[in-house]
């Protein structure tokens, strides 16, 4: 790139400066600071002492932390198994040629993802309530022996959280998958049909490879957001700070919030945060590794 | 022929069923917001009665909304949400578009380093930064101010990434070179040439940042302490703690919280969905 009238060298820095100032204050510095904090014992912003790996050791031997890890993995696995197949199924149905009202359906399915978790959580807490909630009433109308006092929130903690999450996110994934499906070459599908491939084989050998990049990104996205779930359990079980009955709703980030902001031990919370970060980095690296080795063309 | 028609009917039925399942929570919320407590217990949707369509229209009430705005400070919380989301989205768009322009269209020492530094933070969980961000806010003396909610939200890594990609794809370097040769100032090049070329991305990002800020719960929950400064997300959370069994009131508050972004989404839906999904499919 050559130009006869080069720009002064500080021009790119001028454009970058507003971003960099706030990024340094509220991203770079906090990252460095959280790494320091993870090795300190803190009670409030004023008192601290370097304690080496003590925070990590304590977290590692903390049974609540492992409960939180277990619940987080359950939630993440559940949302993955419910949302992605549901979204893919809907997207495949919506991709049928000459479907009437496709744009309207897409808008309808996408609309819940505009709502924040805090609002969806409040709504679903009431929807899942005993007796007054819509879900039990609806199930009781359809199946007359369904118990209208079925205790979704009190006993089926993860199921309740996953139902709310599926309502909120399935349409979002569907919109991405539909866009990917509409990019799959029709010629290729026709050619496969002429060669005698049935619908199942056409899906497996033509459609699925075509949407694989998008599908992989959505899986990674579901895993990353699942690992960081906070709002939903915190709102569902706000009377117990997000713990839920028998700590069944305690997730990694709710525990981080409780130790850091309720108990005021930012060092302990940072140690939890870094363990979570390492898990996320591991996920991202695994994703990159898997998508690279199996598809050398990309 | 008959089989095909049957198949299409079945397809419609499945889609309509899932559409109804998606829509019912919204409908239930709207109905609950206009019912009296007695009717809320007695009827799942609108109360039955002798009126048009078998519904007792005269039993519906606006008392829940009236109370939400008078007894509860929902009006104030609504204003705070509008203020926070507008300021955050506009400032964030400015920071990210200018930063993305610098990373995409200039060669300078440190560009590679900054790009890696910024994009590396994509995998960092927001919760990790919350504690130290609160500390920074504390040392700046900004605890319990709107700045404490706005400033940390201005520079998400994906924002500058989106703009960098948009500039790389749709702003020809030759155009910038030409303008520079003609003696056009650097700021004018950005404002009058670059920004119009990435207008679709600016629209999408503005809407995304607005809705993201509107729905953000954790940050204002940590940074704000006085209830009179709460935005809707935090206000709704506390509402359920304080008025747990006053379902009509909660649902009226929910409707006030959800309706503005829903309207925004319905107006901008085409830009919104296609703007979001086109990036994913290309990338």
Give the ipTM of the model, two decimals please. 0.86
Average of pLDDT values for B17-38? 87
Contact of A227 with A280, CB cutoff 8 Å = yes
Inform me whether the C-beta atom of residue B38 falls under 8 Å from chain A C-beta atoms: no
The answer to whether the CB atoms of A176 and B218 lie below 8 A apart is no
Number of Cβ pairs < 8 A linking chain A and chain B: 253
Q: Classify the C-alpha dihedral A81-A79-A284-B159 as positive or negative.
A: positive
Q: How far apart are CA B156 and CA B96, in angstroms?
A: 8
Which chain A residues contact residue B257 at CB under 8 A? 119
pLDDT tens, residue by residue, B214-249: 999 989 998 999 988 999 999 988 887 777 678 888
Q: B54: domain range?
A: 2-61
Q: What are A54's two structure tokens? A: 């003590």
The answer to whether the CB atoms of B160 and A13 lie below 8 A apart is no
Both B41 and B84 in one domain: the answer is no
Q: What is the pLDDT of residue B86?
A: 96
Q: What is the DSSP letter of A128?
A: T
Q: What is the pLDDT of residue A131?
A: 75
Cα–Cα nearest to A223, from A283, A159, A167? A283
Q: What is the DSSP letter of A247?
A: G
The answer to whether the CB atoms of A20 and B114 lie below 8 A apart is yes
Query: Mean of the per-residue pLDDT values for chain B?
Result: 86
Both B73 and B50 in one domain: the answer is no
Residue B174 in this model has a pLDDT that exceeds 80: yes
Measure Cα distances from A42 to A39, A46, B132, B183 in Å.
Answer: 10, 8, 12, 57
Both B50 and B89 in one domain: the answer is no
DSSP run (H or E) holding A289: helix A266-293
Indicate which CATH number applies to the domain containing B155: 1.10.3720.10
- How many domains is chain B built from? 2
The answer to whether the CB atoms of B127 and A214 lie below 8 A apart is no
Query: Mean of the per-residue pLDDT values for chain A?
Result: 87
Q: What are B32's two structure tokens? A: 């609950």
C-alpha Rg value of chain A to the nearest Å: 24
Mutate to test the interface with B, among A11, A109, A114, A174 (most CBs of B within 10 A): A114
Q: What is the pLDDT of residue A279?
A: 94
pLDDT tens, residue by residue, A222-246: 999 999 999 899 988 887 777 888 8
Q: How far apart are CA B236 and CA A119, in angstroms?
A: 8
Q: What is the pLDDT of residue A297?
A: 47
Across B220-256, b (16+ Cβ under 10 Å) vs e yields bbbbbeeeebbbbbbbbbebbeebeebbbbbbbbbbb
Higher-pLDDT residue of A10 and B97 is B97
Inform me whether the C-beta atom of residue B149 falls under 8 Å from chain A C-beta atoms: no
Residue after which a domain boundary falls, among B21, B39, B61: B61
Q: What is the pLDDT of residue A45?
A: 55
pLDDT tens, residue by residue, B39-72: 777 777 777 666 667 666 777 788 888 888 888 8
Q: How far apart are CA A272 and CA A257, in angstroms?
A: 10
Both B178 and B132 in one domain: the answer is yes
* CA angle in degrees (0–180, nearest 5) for A142-B13-B267: 105
Inform me whether the C-beta atom of residue A159 falls under 8 Å from chain B C-beta atoms: no
Q: What is the pLDDT of residue B95?
A: 95
Residue after which a domain boundary falls, among B38, B61, B84: B61
Q: How far apart are CA A193 and CA A186, in angstroms?
A: 10
Both B23 and B128 in one domain: the answer is no
Inform me whether the C-beta atom of residue A106 falls under 8 Å from chain B C-beta atoms: yes
Both B11 and B104 in one domain: the answer is no
Q: What are A64's two structure tokens? A: 């609540």
For A2, nearest residue in chain B (alpha carbons)? B177
Q: Which of A116, A253, A274 sits opposite B233 (nearest CB)?
A: A116
Is A49 strand, coil or helix?
strand
Burial class from Cβ neighbours inside 10 Å (0-12, 13-18, 19+) for residue A285 reads exposed
Domain borders along chain A are 62-293
Tokens 């302990």 correspond to what residue?
Answer: A268
Mutate to test the interface with B, among A10, A13, A14, A16 (most CBs of B within 10 A): A16
Q: How far apart are CA A114 and CA A105, in angstroms?
A: 15
Burial class from Cβ neighbours inside 10 Å (0-12, 13-18, 19+) for residue B118 reads buried
Q: How far apart are CA A121 and CA A135, in angstroms?
A: 15
Q: Which of A15, A114, A176 sits opposite B211 (nearest CB)?
A: A114
Q: How far apart are CA A29 and CA A34, in angstroms?
A: 8
Residue B209 in this model has a pLDDT that exceeds 50: yes
Both B101 and B44 in one domain: the answer is no
For A171, nearest residue in chain B (alpha carbons)? B22
The answer to whether the CB atoms of B25 and A14 lie below 8 A apart is no
DSSP run (H or E) holding A71: helix A63-94
Q: What is the pLDDT of residue B269?
A: 80
Low-confidence residues of chain A: pLDDT under 50: 1-4, 295-298
Query: In terms of residues, how long is chain B?
Result: 283
Contact of B161 with B95, CB cutoff 8 Å = no
Tokens 């808008």 correspond to what residue?
Answer: A107
Q: What is the pLDDT of residue A2?
A: 44
The three-state (H, E, C) secondary structure of chain B, written as one string: CHHHHHHHHHHHHHHHHHHHHHHHHHHHHHHHHCCCHHHHHHCCCCCECCCHHHECHHHCCCHHHHHHHHCCCHHHHHHHHHHHHHHHHHHHHHHHHHHHHHHHHCCCCCHHHHHHHHHHHHHCCHHHHHHHHHHHHHHCCCCCCHHHHHHHHCCCHHHHHHHHHHHHHHCCHHHHHHHHHCCCCHHHHHHHHHHHHCHHHHHHHHHHHHHHHHHCCHHHHHHCCCHHHCCHHHHHHHHHHHCCCCHHHHHHHHHHHHHHHHHHHHHHHHHHHHHHHHHHHHC
The three-state (H, E, C) secondary structure of B29-66, written as one string: HHHHHCCCHHHHHHCCCCCECCCHHHECHHHCCCHHHH
Measure Cα distances from A185 to A256, B75, B275 in Å.
Answer: 47, 51, 21
Both B100 and B184 in one domain: the answer is yes
For residue A277, give how far its alpha carbon lies from the nearest alpha carbon of chain B (Å): 6
Both B28 and B97 in one domain: the answer is no
Measure Cα distances from B104 to B101, B119, B165, B168 in Å.
Answer: 5, 14, 8, 6
Q: What is the pLDDT of residue B148?
A: 94
Both B97 and B229 in one domain: the answer is yes
Residue after which a domain boundary falls, among B15, B38, B61: B61
Q: What are phi and psi for residue A73, nearest 5 degrees?
A: -65, -40
Residue B139 in this model has a pLDDT that exceeds 80: yes
Query: Which fold does the domain A62-293 belong to in CATH?
Result: MetI-like fold (1.10.3720)
Maximum pairwise Cα distance, chain B = 78
């Amino acid at each position: 790139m050559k130009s006869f009238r080069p720009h002064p060298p500080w021009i790119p820095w001028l454009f970058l400066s507003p971003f960099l100032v706030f990024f340094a204050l509220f991203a770079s510095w906090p990252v460095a600071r959280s790494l320091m904090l993870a090795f300190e014992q803190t009670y409030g912003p004023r008192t601290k002492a370097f304690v080496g790996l003590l925070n990590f050791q304590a977290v590692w031997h903390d049974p609540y932390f492992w409960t939180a890890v277990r619940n987080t993995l359950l939630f993440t696995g559940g949302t993955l198994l419910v949302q992605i197949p549901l979204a893919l199924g809907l997207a495949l149905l919506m991709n049928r040629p000459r479907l009437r009202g496709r744009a309207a359906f897409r808008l309808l399915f996408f609309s819940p993802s505009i709502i924040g978790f805090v609002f969806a959580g409040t709504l679903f807490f009431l929807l899942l309530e005993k007796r007054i909630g819509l879900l039990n009433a609806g199930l009781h109308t359809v199946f007359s022996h369904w118990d209208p006092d079925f205790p979704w929130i009190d006993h089926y903690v993860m199921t309740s959280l996953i139902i709310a999450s599926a309502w909120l996110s399935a349409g979002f994934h569907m919109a991405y998958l539909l866009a990917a499906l509409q990019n799959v070459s029709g010629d290729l599908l026709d050619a496969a049909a002429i060669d005698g491939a049935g619908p199942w084989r056409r899906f497996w050998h033509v459609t699925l490879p075509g949407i694989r990049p998008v599908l992989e990104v959505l899986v990674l996205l579901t895993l990353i957001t699942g690992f960081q779930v906070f709002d939903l359990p915190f709102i569902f079980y706000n009377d117990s700070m997000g713990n839920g009955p028998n700590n069944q709703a305690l997730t990694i980030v709710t525990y981080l919030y409780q130790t850091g902001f309720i108990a005021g031990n930012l060092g302990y919370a940072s140690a939890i945060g870094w363990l979570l970060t390492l898990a996320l980095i591991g996920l991202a690296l695994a994703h990159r590794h898997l998508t690279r080795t199996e598809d050398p063309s990309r | 022929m008959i089989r095909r028609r049957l198949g299409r009917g079945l397809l419609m039925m499945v889609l309509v069923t899932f559409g109804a399942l998606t829509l019912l929570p919204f409908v239930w919320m709207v109905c609950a917001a206009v019912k009296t407590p007695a009717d809320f217990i007695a009827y799942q949707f609108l109360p039955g009665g002798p009126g048009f369509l078998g519904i007792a229209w005269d039993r519906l009430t606006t008392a829940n909304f009236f109370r939400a705005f008078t007894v509860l400070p929902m009006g104030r919380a609504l204003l705070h949400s509008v203020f926070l989301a507008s300021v955050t989205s506009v400032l964030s768009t400015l920071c990210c578009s200018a930063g993305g322009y610098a990373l995409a269209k200039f060669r300078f020492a440190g560009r590679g380093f900054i790009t890696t530094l910024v994009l590396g933070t994509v995998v960092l969980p927001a919760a990790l930064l919350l504690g130290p961000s609160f500390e920074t806010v504390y040392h700046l003396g900004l605890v319990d101010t709107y700045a404490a909610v706005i400033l940390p939200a201005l520079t998400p890594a994906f924002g500058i990434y989106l703009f960098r990609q948009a500039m790389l794809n749709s702003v020809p370097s030759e155009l910038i070179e030409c303008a520079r040769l003609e003696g056009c100032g650097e700021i004018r090049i950005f404002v009058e040439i670059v920004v119009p070329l990435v207008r679709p991305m600016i629209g999408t990002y503005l809407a995304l940042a607005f809705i993201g800020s509107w729905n953000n719960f954790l940050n204002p929950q940590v940074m704000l302490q006085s209830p009179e400064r709460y935005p809707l997300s935090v206000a709704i959370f506390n509402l359920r703690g304080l008025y747990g069994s006053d379902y009509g009131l909660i649902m009226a508050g929910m409707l006030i919280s959800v309706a503005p972004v829903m309207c925004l989404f319905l107006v901008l839906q085409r830009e919104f969905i296609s703007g979001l999904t086109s990036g994913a499919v290309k990338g």
